[in-house]
Amino acid sequence: MINYRKVNNLTGWIVFLIATLVYMLTIEETASFWDPGEFIAVAYKLQVPHPPGAPFFLLTYRMFSFLAFGDTLEIAYWMNAGSALFSGFTILFLFWSITLLGRKLFKLEKDKESKGHTIAIMGAGIIGSLVYTFSDSFWFSAVESEVYAMSSFFTAIVIWAFLKWDVIENPRDENRYMIFIAYLVGLSIGVHLLNLVTLPALALVVYFKKYKSPNLKGAVIAFLLGGVALVIINNIIIPGLPSLAGSLEIFFVNSLGLPFGSGIIVFIVLILGGLVAAILYSIKMQKAILNTVLLSLTFILIGYGSYALIIVRSNANPPINENAPKDIISFVSYLKREQYGYRPLLKGQYFTAEVESQEEGAPVYAKGESKYEIVDYAIETMYDPEKTTILPRIYSTQANHKQIYRSKLGLREGEEPTFADNISFMLSHQLGHMYWRYFMWNFSGRESDYTDAPWMGISDLFGDYPDFIKENKAHNNYLMLPILLGIIGLFFQAKYDGKSFWLTMMLFLMMGVVLVLYLNSPPIEPRERDYIYVGSFYAFAIWIGMGVLAIAHAIGKMNKNFAVASIMATLIGFPVPLLMASQNWGDHNRSDRYFSVDSARNFLASCEENAILFTGGDNDTFPLWYVQEVEGFRTDVRVIVLSYFDTDWYVEQMTRPINESAALPFSLERKNFKRGTNDVLYVNERQGLNAISAKEYLRLLKNESDLLKIETGFKSTVYQVPSRNLIMEIDSAEVIKKGIIPAGMEDLVISQMNLRVKGNYMTKGNLMLLDLITTNNWERPIYFNNTSLSTIGFDLKNHVVMEGLTYRLLPIQKPENVEEFVNTELAYKNVMEKFAFRGMNNPDNYFDEEYRRFTSNHRSVFNSLTTALLMEDKLEMAADIQKLSLEKFPNEAIPYDLSSGQSVPLLFEMGEDDLALDIIEKLSEKSFQTLEFYRDRGRAMDREAMISLEMMRFFVPLLQERGYDELATKVQNNLDKVLGPGTSSNGILRNRK
């Protein structure tokens, strides 16, 4: 007789080892792009990440960093290993959840499992869990230090714990398990809130067990009660308790005159006292259910207590202290993610709605010297009621979002959307494009890793794809086998175990479709968001396991030997995870990839000592934080996130020294940049005032001069900019004496710099930038990356010099005939001696779209430097730069792109015709295949296709000018094939940098 329990445990641990080994072999060895750079940095030093924080994640991953034994270059690896380990445990609990559901489906009694049933259930667990192991979205999160791996672990263990609770017979043990589940839920709050979405579905487990004759009405009530539990935790416990504490704190301090913290102390005493009294009452009165509920609430609060870390560490003023939630008021704002704005859920405006009015709402408090002060008022925006709707899906009034709505819905400019358009967008884009496409990626296949790539099916196996798609490592086709197996399992479970079917279905919908409706995503996101819905894919993996049981059941009916049938079913199902593993390995193996970190090093290496560097968000900043805070590289450079500069907490942090970087010089005081003050300053050009001194303007603003005040209907004071021309006086002789002007540029030094405001208003961030530039007076080098330079509120492009990947602000005027001004000597030295490109020339490595974008950025910088060197007749140095680019970023590893095409005329000019022709041949062939593919598929041209068309048009006359008529004719003929005759160059590329 097979010992089912031992087999189940042993097989589960074997699957765990397989999954963990796979993830360990494919983890990224450093900080990935996007959030991992931030999370590794904040976990290593226990700092404060973006809202709503993940304190338990930080504490846990901090312990993984100890495995590096002080080697800072290994810290990221071991934190990534933490994700691999948690992901392995997720697979373990998925396996055990499938086997629990398999036992229930076959209605097996304890210790009475037959050999056939044991083999079938183990096969189901193996196939289902391994399919999920090798699924696209889960594997992606399993190999990097993000919250989603640990969050998936909590989701998996909570689902397993509920299923385990379902088979417990002793009521005392049931209650203990329920308290254990509550503690897990509490801990998961300190990681991610995805776990909570499972509660309505898991309430069905309780209902089906406790009610022997369940019905639809009861199931609906149980589901709704689970929803109530979700609301209590998500809306009352998480933000509600701190909000109540904040209200008491304001009352005790402002109204009663008590010291700071008195309201918090009273609140804690009341909550703890009430809980203790209630628990003692439940014990005294022998109310077991009430006692279990109260203890569960207590353990949820204990788990939630990890959030104390955020306040404690924020008050320690670490280098990364996002939102600075130092007190209860700022902590509540942090928890509620107020900085991210509001998305309407049940009622809201169409994107064409006009703002009818704006009214001041509830006051916003901040901690002052002796009490909490009102610093601002919430603004309530009222829209035209004729242009509002229930369940608003096309709500965003951003200009670029409006254009996308119209494009996707086929609405002409000026045409009003209808409710049918609203629902159409929800079904086609939010559900279709932003969920079902991701679902099919995971269980059917994916065309490539290009933005908006479609899913693949069986028919696509014979599709005529261009080489650049076929060679893309994310070109994966599973022949729809996983989804077919899952559908079989879905119907099989529905037929033989209806209760578990509805549990699995609700898990699938709650963490998928319902989550889509709740998130109400805008028409575009910064990146693909498939990792959000891994919980839904987890539920589908259960059905894949059930599919193996269905096959075993069908074969068993035919051969009457269920053990043999179970072995055959397992063998039939086993190729599915093997196929997924073989298809997905190439684009999920992140070993030997370092450019996310190397590009950050290159940015910092482009800066002089003690520099100030302005960046954009996310990938522009998080890798920089990582290399500074973890690896300790160039901590003298003060990195400033431009968007954060609009907040008072961030500006205040800039007034303090951090690491080796001194405090920034400002003339304005906190009263001038605190929340609610100078958030927006409107340009109101006064007649006869063509310009104003920047220093004088800052002096007037600092003194809160009535000359700058604007009368509004709001209680807060608004200041204006009386002229968009803000003049900064420059002592030319003193500037040259400081030695900051590159050799040969002395004649370009100017005596005045016009910090001209671009738009109709100036934000707080741009005000503080104006103050920094003026007050700094050229003492510390100020740099911008490309993103920040293009988004700041001043036009400084004529006053910056490229020194590598960064642009340095200098008191010079760029010559009119120069598109991009470059300090060639310094930029050449930085690129050739300081830049790093580890692993980028290895064609076996996988470089996703973000890596390719940063590579293109580097190639573009190399082209700009080459152009500047050629203008200075430094031919040999120019050749060095181009050859370095081709050596470090070869086509075999990083396919040639637009920037590569722009280097072609430079190579021709240097006499490197062979290199230029090689690029043309490869790019033109890729471009032809791309255009032909889009034409044959009837797809509208996206950015990739437009670039392909642009390059082919550009190459034809360029080749003709150089006498390469044969190749020119070939390229032109290819153009004619896909677009028809007469597709000559339009000169777009020629005019690019």
Q: b/e for 683-709, b at 16 or more Cβ within 10 A?
A: beeeeeeeebbbbebbebbeeeeeebe
Q: What is the pLDDT of residue 982?
A: 54
- Euclidean distance between CA atoms 185 and 900, whole angstroms: 51
The predicted-structure confidence for 175-215, as pLDDT tens digits, reads as follows 899 999 999 999 999 999 888 899 998 899 888 888 888 88
Please provide the DSSP assignment of 224-267 as one string.
Answer: HHHHHHHHIIIIIITTHHHHHHHHHHHIIIIIT-PPTTHHHHHH
Query: What confidence tier does 987 reach under pLDDT thresholds 50, 70, 90?
Result: very low
On the question of pLDDT at 753 being above 60, the answer is: yes
| Confidence (pTM) | 0.92
Q: Identify the CA nearest to 620 among candidates 751, 786, 497, 509.
A: 786
Measured CA to CA, the distance from residue 473 to residue 449 in angstroms comes to 8
Distance, C-alpha 932 to centroid of its chain? 33
Helix (H, G, I), strand (E, B) or coil at 793: coil
Between residues 499 and 375, the one the model is more confident about: 499
Q: How confident is the model at residue 993 (pLDDT cuts 50, 70, 90)?
A: very low
**Cα separation of 446 and 135, whole Å?**
11
Q: Tell me, what's the pLDDT at 991? A: 35
pLDDT tens digits, residue range 19-52? Answer: 999 999 999 999 999 999 999 999 999 999 999 8
Between CA 630 and CA 460 the distance in angstroms is 45
C-alpha 553/C-alpha 572 separation (Å) is: 13
Q: For residue 916, is pLDDT > 60? A: yes
Report, as an integer, the average pLDDT of 550-568.
92
Flag the least confident range among 218-232, 628-642, 891-905, 974-988: 974-988
Mean pLDDT score, 596-619: 93
Work out the average pLDDT over 243-271.
Answer: 91
Task: Tell whether the model's pLDDT for residue 981 goes beyond 70.
Answer: no
pLDDT category at 71 given cuts 50, 70, 90 is very high
| Model pLDDT, residue 986 | 43
- Statement: residue 932 has pLDDT above 90: no
Instruction: Report which of residues 990 and 747 the model is more confident about.
Output: 747
Contacts of 440 (CB under 8 A, 6+ apart): 455, 457, 483
Q: Which token pair is 223? A: 């589901």
Is the pLDDT confidence value at 14 over 80?
yes
Which 8-state DSSP code applies to residue 685? P
Kindly state the greatest CA–CA separation across the chain.
Answer: 99
Closest by CA position to 643, among listed 624, 662, 617 = 617
pLDDT digits (tens, 9 = 90+) for 309-335: 999 999 999 999 999 999 888 898 888
Give whole-number Cα distances, 847 to 268, 438, 590, 594, in Å.
Answer: 51, 20, 8, 10
Element (H, E) at 220: helix 216-231
Q: Is the pLDDT of residue 573 over 90?
A: yes
**Mean pLDDT, to the nearest integer, of 398-424?**
90
Q: What are the helix (H) ranges across 66-170?
A: 75-105, 115-133, 136-142, 147-166
What is the b/e burial string over 501-528, where b = at least 16 CB atoms within 10 angstroms of the residue's CB?
Answer: bbbbbbbbbbbbbbbbeebbbbbeeeeb
Q: What is the pLDDT of residue 433?
A: 93
**52 prior amide bond cis, ω within 30:** yes
- The pLDDT of residue 609 is 94
> In the predicted model, is pLDDT for residue 547 greater than 70?
yes
pLDDT, the chain, mean: 90
pLDDT at position 992 is 33
Residue 989 confidence (pLDDT): 41
User: What is the arithmetic mean of pLDDT over 432-461?
Assistant: 91
What are the residue ranges of helices labelled H in 872-889? 875-888
Model confidence at 604, pLDDT cuts 50, 70, 90, reads very high
The SS3 call for residue 361 is: strand
pLDDT tens readout for residues 138-174: 999 999 999 999 999 999 999 999 999 998 888 888 8
- CA angle 18–19–23, rounded 5-degree value: 120
Torsion of Cα atoms, 494 then 499 then 502 then 503, to 10°: -130
Between these two residues, 686 and 445, which has the higher pLDDT value?
Answer: 445
pLDDT in tens, 653-663: 999 999 999 99
The helix/strand/coil state of 748 is helix
Nearest 5°: the CA angle 762, 395, 362 is 60
**Kind and range of the H or E element at 824?**
helix 824-829
C-alpha distance from residue 524 to each of 416, 439, 451, 513 (Å): 21, 18, 11, 18
Cβ–Cβ under 8 Å, residues 409 and 394: yes
List C-alpha distances in Å: 711 to 293, 717, 718, 796, 984.
Answer: 55, 8, 7, 31, 58
CA–CA separation, 314 and 318 (whole Å): 7
Q: Which of 515, 492, 516 is nearest to 504 (CA)?
A: 492
Q: Give 422-457 as a DSSP string.
A: HHHHIIIIIIIIIIIHHHHHHHTEES-SSTTPPB--
Q: How confident is the model at residue 598 (pLDDT cuts 50, 70, 90)?
A: very high
